[in-house]
A and B are shown apart, each in its own frame.
Chain A
Amino acid sequence: EPEVTQTPSHQVTQMGQEVILRCVPISNHLYFYWYRQILGQKVEFLVSFYNNEISEKSEIFDDQFSVERPDGSNFTLKIRSTKLEDSAMYFCASSGVLLRGTSYEQYFGPGTRLTVT
């Protein structure tokens, strides 16, 4: 069964450093997403990406964040200058199956745990 993969599984970085989180979405999917989950809190939407550009972004996704699809398979999230409050689990998701004309089921990768020290 196809699945979303993410690397690394755990990233430790110092405050102010840049990090790049990587994802390989399911191959025939068209929509890609990043979410984050701070420990003990709910999953929060960051950004959606379709047709090689950002479709929507939340208020969390400020100028420190960027996304890219550098080739036909990878989808990356870059945080330019990490802050302590960026410590969270970051999930990539993809969808592409149009179901009954209205719903897009999203499938999540295993996540990257980012720890900023």
Chain B
Amino acid sequence: RKEVEQDPGPFNVPEGATVAFNCTYSNSASQSFFWYRQDCRKEPKLLMSVYSSGNEDGRFTAQLNRASQYISLLIRDSKLSDSATYLCVSGGGADGLTFGKGTHLIIQP
């Protein structure tokens, strides 16, 4: 059974701080990993794909550790607009995506 586990939070972080989330996945055969962002009652929006070599997009950095089967997301210089639920996701292609329950982030002014 494919599972993705995340700390639900909430993480309360002051504006400008750095925050990091981790998640773990159970299916060692998973090839693809993503971070999505979901605002209240909205659709998941793709934030970034996660590559074995790690990847960075502006203030966001994602890392994959296949040996330990965990994925991380780092947000630097957090903004009020970063407040959302961050979904750790594995899979894709014909199998569909397996979502974690999400980590709720609240950026405080």
Contact = CB atoms under 8 A, between A and B. Distances in A.
A96 to B, nearest CB: 11
Interface stretch (A11-19, A48-56, A64-72, A73-81): A48-56
Contacts of A43: 44, 87, 97, 99
Q: Which of A58, A103, A111 has the most CB of B within 10 A?
A: A103
Given A43-B87, A99-B49, A106 B92 contact: yes
B101 A35 contact: no
A44 to B, nearest CB: 7
Contacts of A31: 93-94
Q: Which of B45, B93, B98 has the most CB of A within 10 A?
A: B93
Interface size class of B (residues with CB under 8 A): 20 to 34
Interface size class of A (residues with CB under 8 A): 20 to 34
Contacts of B41: 89
Q: Chain A's interface: helix, strand, loop or mixed, by majority?
A: strand
B26 to A, nearest CB: 14
A41 B101 contact: yes
Contacts of B99: 42-44
Interface string A22-45: 000000000101010000011111
Q: Which of A43, A48, A89, A110 has the most CB of B within 10 A?
A: A43
A45 B97 contact: yes
15 contacts: A35-B96, A35-B97, A41-B101, A43-B99, A48-B95, A89-B41, A93-B97, A99-B49, A103-B33, A104-B32, A105-B46, A106-B46, A108-B43, A108-B44, A108-B45
